[in-house]
Structure 1
Amino acid sequence: MASRLQRSTLKLVNLARTQGLQTALLHATNAVAWHVVPSRRAFARSLEHERVLAQEFDQTYGVETAGESPLTAVGVPPEKAGRGNGLYRGIWSGVFHDALRETQLPLERFTFVDYGSGKGKALMLASAYPFRRIVGVEFAPGLHEVAVNNLGVFHSPGQRCLALEAVCADALEWEPPVEPLLCFFFNPFDDPTMERVVTRVARSWRQAPRDIYLLYVNIRDVSEQAHVFERHTALTPVKRGRHCMLMKVTAGR
């Protein structure tokens, strides 16, 4: 217990030094909430279960996706880490497959683009579907390097798409390919960054109209960031559940 308290204290001191006292206090408040708020405690139990499943996924395919990593530890400058919500965590397999099934789209027509693709887990999971090709966009060099290694060794007997690519790029600068797209977002950005990325995707649609869908997934609740999508005039809602929401890029409302 003393060792855990010491590690937590050192982490807060480091946060205060690198990202400011306000960030450190917010982190401390959130840490306390995990122990006293019932919904947070239930989510913490789910996290523990999913950690086991993530380790099993890695062992099965000989890859590395499990665990969490501060973005500052994988090559992202402290002043930019907040844009990516400060932390890497791989998508939960069950939530991912549920979200893909909910779209009910003819996936063979689409290129799958994962914004904030981390170590590439969503890319590997997406390969079980008949996408035209699969692209991951990640701006943390350390995460991108792991993703490249993972894609180099990944193989599944149920794989239906073999064209997998990991790109190291800033989503605010990367141009979406001119083809039908299913853009996947596993809670990768803060609100201002998400809004700018969506605007960039919408601009791509205006320059070359084609089917573009946005699939936003949040393992807690999509309500945390739904307002960013709902207020964007270029998006038309298609479906919404607790953990995922699907939108289509259109001419605007």
Structure 2
Amino acid sequence: MASRLQQSTLKLVNLARTQGLQTALQHATNAIAWHVVPSRREFARNLVQESELARKFDQLHGVDTAGESPLTDVGVPPEKAARGNGLYRGIWPRLFHAALRESRLPLERFTFVDYGSGKGKALMLASAYAFRRIVGMEFAPGLHEVAVRNLRGYRSPQQRCFTMDAVCADALDWEPPAEPLLCFFFNPFDDPTMERVITRVARSWRHAPRDIYLLYVNVRDVREQARVFERHSALTLVGRSRHSLLTKVTAGR
């Protein structure tokens, strides 16, 4: 215990020297939160089980989605990695399916768009539903390349949507398709980036009014970023649970 404490202290001191005191304090606060915040402690416990389920998913379907990858290791510049919360992790299927069930939307009317689609896990899970089509948008070139391979080889007896595309683009530049959309967000951005992405989606609605829903999922608790959605003037809250938040675009700005 003393050795781990000493190592952690040295790491924080080095972080303060190289990246500044504010960064070091933020790192320390986050580290403490994993031990004292109930939602994060529960997440840490579930992560082991979900990681094993992810490996089994990959073996069953012949794809590569399991594990975690720092964004700086998959082609994202360090100064932009924080915009994407710094890390790739695939969505947990049980939370994904629960979020779609809770939405109670007629999914066959919508194009599913995954913002920050990573290796394409949510795209493959979404193909079990009768969406009009499925689109994944990913900023990291390394993740996008894996997603393209995954979608090319993915097969499932539960698959109902077979039109799936992966796009390598920046969410702040990418134009949403002018059709009814279910925009999916698996905790992909920091608050300022999420705010700008929502504004861009709302602007798309203003130019081409149609049904656009935003579905935000967080494996710990949506309270971590719910305020960004709930305070945005272009959105109306439709439903909320611990792990998912559904809003609808009702105004443009």
Q: Which moved more, 1:194-203 or 1:11-20?
A: 11-20
Deviation at 1:49, TM superposition (A): 1.0
- What is the rounded CA distance, in whole Å, between the counterparts of 2:167 and 2:100 in structure 1? 22
**In the alignment, is the contact (CA less than 8 A) between 1:19 and 1:78 conserved in 2?**
no
Q: CA deviation at 1:31?
A: 3.0
Question: Aligned pair in 2 of structure 1 residues 108, 49: CA closer, same or farther (>3 Å)?
Answer: same
Indicate conservation of the 8 Å contact 1:213/1:247, yes or no.
yes
Encode CA deviations 1:209-230: one digit per residue, 9 max, x unaligned: 0010000111111111111111
Deviates more, 1:213-222 or 1:29-38: 29-38
Partner residue, 2:110: 110
1:200 to partner: Cα distance:
0.4
* Aligned counterparts of 2:228 and 2:166: Cα–Cα separation in 1: 26
How far apart are the structure 1 equivalents of 2:215 and 2:168?
21
Query: Partner residue of 1:230?
Result: 230
C-alpha distance 7-237 of structure 1, shift in aligned 2 (>3 A): same
Query: What is the correspondence of 1:150-189 to structure 2 with a 5 Å cutoff?
Result: 150-189=150-189
The residue number in structure 2 matching 1:206 is 206
Q: How many angstroms apart in 2 are the aligned matches of 1:132 and 1:14?
A: 51
Q: Secondary structure at the match of 2:34?
A: helix
Higher mean Cα deviation, 87-96 or 12-21?
12-21
Q: Cα RMSD between the aligned structures?
A: 2.5
1:43-99 deviations in whole A, cap 9, x for unaligned? 211111111111111111111111111111111111101110111111000000000
Task: Report the Cα offset of residue 29 of structure 1.
Answer: 3.9
| TM-score normalised by L of structure 1 | 0.91
1:40 deviates by 3.0
Structure 2 counterpart of 1:45 = 45
Counterparts in 2 of 1:221 and 1:206: CA distance versus 1, 3 Å: same
Structure 2 residue runs of 5 or longer lacking an equivalent are none
Is contact 2:205–2:252 with CA below 8 Å preserved after alignment? no
Distance 1:140 1:217 in 2: 20
CA deviation profile, 1:11-46 (whole Å, cap 9, x unmatched)? 878966875554344334433443455543322111
Residue of structure 1 in register with 2:81 after alignment: 81
Deviations 1:186-213 (A, max 9, x none): 0100011001000000000000000100
Alignment partners' CA distance in 2, 1:5 and 1:150: 41
**Seq. identity, %:** 81
Report the Cα distance in structure 1 between the residues aligned to 2:252 and 2:239, rounded to whole angstroms: 17
CA contact (8 A) 1:18 1:78 kept: no
The change in CA–CA distance for 1:125 and 1:194 in structure 2 (over 3 A counts) is same
Aligned residues: 253
Over 3 Å counting, the alpha-carbon distance change for 1:160 and 1:26 in structure 2 is: same
- Structure 2 SS opposite 1:131: coil
- Read off the aligned partner of 1:250 and give its amino acid letter: T
In structure 2, how many angstroms separate the alpha carbons of the residues matched to 1:137 and 1:144? 8
Seen in structure 2, the aligned counterparts of structure 1 residues 158 and 186 have a Cα distance that, compared at 3 Å, is same
Q: Give the aligned residue type for 1:56.
A: K
Which residue is equivalent to 1:194? 194
Task: Tell me the TM-score normalised to structure 2 length.
Answer: 0.91
Structure 2 residue identity aligned to 1:219: V
Q: 1:20 to 1:122 in 2, by over 3 A?
A: farther
Change beyond 3 A, Cα 1:36–1:191: closer
